[in-house]
Amino acid sequence: MNGPIEDIATELGFQGNPFLQGLVVSIFIVGAFFGSLGSSALVDKFGCKRTLQIVSIPLIIGALLRYLLPLYRVLYS
């Protein structure tokens, strides 16, 4: 998390503020905790391979949106 937090802080405009950087890191850790609790039920129901495929869908959609949004802004602005 040490590498990405610098980029996140720069992008969101709170670079150099250790409190906000710590808060962002803590939010990631809390999210990982709740994600692991939720994924245990999916692994029991679908198995490891199918669960990995299911939880990858939002990541793929997010990456596509991140890539396509600047193209959309350029074309329609």
Which pairs from 3-6 meet CB under 8 Å and 24+ separation?
none
What average pLDDT does range 55-77 have in this prediction?
Answer: 84
Task: Name the residue ranges covered by the structural domains of the chain.
Answer: 1-46, 47-77
What average pLDDT does range 43-57 have in this prediction?
Answer: 93
pLDDT averaged over the chain?
86
Tens of pLDDT, residue by residue over 5-42, are 888 888 888 888 889 888 988 998 999 999 888 888 88
Q: What distance in Å separates the CA atoms of residue 43 and residue 55, rounded to the nearest whole number? A: 11
Looking at residue 2, its pLDDT comes to 67
Q: What distance in Å separates the CA atoms of residue 1 and residue 49, rounded to the nearest whole number? A: 26
